[in-house]
């Protein structure tokens, strides 16, 4: 069942709401998903830089899940994160929520097969949400200098790929500056958001089916 079919049924059948805690790195892409209205999805976005610190991410998830559990049905809280924290499943379970099995943000955009192909090719991913201030992340948050960056990135990766979702969050990505700093060739890959939305449709259709079954 796709999101259009579900939406047509919404007039005669009230669908349960879902509160989905996730990273703001795909905020515009997720907010443009047509199915979020049909499935009654409310996204709760956490800052995208939390994955730079496991302790900060854990505290933010604990605090957010605790707040949501005290305000609304406990079984409506979902978490959409990849392995951004080594104990992500433990944190989610402790918070009384469910972790969606859709992978990290790159796998969510590309699908499992394409994502694994990129990993095998030594790809470093760049996303539109932070593409305009990557230099601040590298230098202020991660401590890289141009000299260190020119050593580290070529040792760890063979290429960089900018995942072009069609959204620009701030200013456009300075490809040449990124290549100069990392010494990596940068490719631009267009992302088909229709595939992302189809994955989300399938995921929430399954959740709706589970909910119906569990009520009998």
Measured CA to CA, the distance from residue 76 to residue 17 in angstroms comes to: 7
d(CA 47, CA 49): 6
**187 strand-pairing partners:** 161
Which residues, listed in sequence order, are joined to residue 43 by a DSSP beta bridge? 20
Look at residue 14 in the predicted model and tell me its pLDDT: 39
Q: Which residues of the chain have pLDDT under 70?
A: 1-16, 74, 211-216
Distance CA 97, CA 76 (A): 8
Half-sphere CA count of 211, side-chain side, radius 13 A: 15
- pLDDT score for 215: 34
3-state DSSP assignment of residue 147: helix
pLDDT at residue 72 in the model: 75
Q: What is the set of domains in the chain, with CATH numbers?
A: 3-106+193-214 (3.40.50), 109-190 (no CATH)
C-alpha closest to that of 85 among 157, 149, 21: 21
Predicted local confidence at residue 211, as pLDDT: 60
* Rounded CA separation 49/46 (Å): 9
Q: What is the pLDDT of residues 116-146, one digit of tens each?
A: 999 999 999 999 999 999 999 999 999 999 9
Nearest Cα neighbor of 29 from 207, 199, 179, 204 is 199
**Helices (DSSP H) in the chain: which residue ranges?**
3-9, 27-31, 35-38, 54-69, 88-94, 105-110, 112-120, 134-136, 146-156, 175-182, 193-214
Q: Where are the alpha helices (DSSP H) in 10-78?
A: 27-31, 35-38, 54-69
Query: Up-side HSE of residue 135: CA atoms within 13 Å toward CB?
Result: 11
pLDDT in tens, 1-32: 454 444 444 433 434 489 999 999 999 999 99
């Amino acid at each position: 069942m796709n999101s259009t079919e579900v939406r047509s049924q919404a007039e005669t059948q009230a669908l349960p709401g879902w509160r989905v805690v996730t990273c703001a790195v795909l905020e515009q892409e997720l907010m443009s998903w047509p199915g979020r209205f049909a499935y009654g999805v409310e996204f709760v976005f956490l800052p995208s830089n939390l994955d730079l610190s496991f302790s900060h991410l854990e505290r933010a998830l604990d605090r957010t899940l605790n707040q949501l559990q005290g305000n609304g049905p406990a079984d409506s809280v979902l978490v959409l994160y990849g392995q951004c924290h080594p104990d992500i499943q433990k944190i989610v379970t402790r918070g009384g929520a469910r972790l969606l099995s859709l992978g990290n943000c790159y796998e969510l955009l590309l699908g499992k097969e394409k994502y694994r192909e990129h990993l095998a090719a030594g790809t470093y991913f760049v996303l539109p949400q932070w593409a305009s201030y990557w230099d601040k992340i590298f230098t202020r948050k991660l401590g890289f200098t141009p000299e260190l960056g020119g050593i580290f990135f070529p040792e760890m990766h063979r290429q960089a790929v900018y995942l072009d979702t069609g959204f620009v969050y701030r200013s456009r990505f300075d490809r040449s500056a990124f290549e100069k700093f990392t010494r990596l060739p940068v490719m631009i890959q267009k992302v088909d958001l229709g595939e992302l939305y189809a994955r989300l449709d399938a995921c929430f259709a399954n959740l709706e089916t589970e909910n119906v079954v569990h009520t009998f």
